[in-house]
Amino acid sequence: MYLLLRVVSTSVSWFILGPSHPWRGMIVAWGTMSIVPAVPASAIVRRLPHQWFRVPDGLLSLEHGAQASFIAHGICFAMHVLLAVLALFSKHPWSGALWVLLPGLVVHLYPVLLQRSTMLRLQPLLQKMRPADCVGY
């Protein structure tokens, strides 16, 4: 229900304000940022190949949290990209696309890069903790 409310409110504001309104990007950023906890990232992480997250990483719970955050913010940033592409093909192409995309860089792409950096530091610790036969799990 919460996700449906976020989708509806974000969609309605798209048509009321238009993609080139400065608040449009903030509404999209707030909407996508508010759904990060609702994205079933843990379930998605379990179904993806572990190689996608194979970077120098460490403690199991921290690794799992970093992977889940990576997925949730990545999905939300993809929404920003898709809405920016949609705005490019509307009557307000560049300004609309920029107002939608720029807030997504800060609230979603930066956390994706931050989690990737975290995983880079954690993997050497995990490799020391695991037996040699479990390294490629």
Residue 64 lies in a domain: yes
* Range among 13-22, 24-33, 86-95 rated most confident: 86-95
pLDDT at residue 92 above 80? no
Distance between CA atoms of residues 6 and 37, nearest Å? 13
Structural domain that includes position 74: 2-129
Contact 118, 66 (CB under 8 A): yes
Within a domain: 137 = no
The arithmetic mean of pLDDT across residues 13-27, rounded, is 75
- pLDDT at res. 132: 54
Region 54-68 average pLDDT: 76
The percent of the chain in helix, strand and coil, each rounded to the nearest 5, is 80, 0, 20
Q: What is the pLDDT of residue 55?
A: 57
pTM of the model: 0.57
Residue 26 covered by a domain? yes
Backbone angles phi, psi at 121, to 5 degrees: -85, -30
* Number of domains into which the chain is organized: 1
pLDDT of residue 70: 93
Q: How far is CA 70 from the centre of its chain?
A: 6
Decide if 136 is inside a domain: no
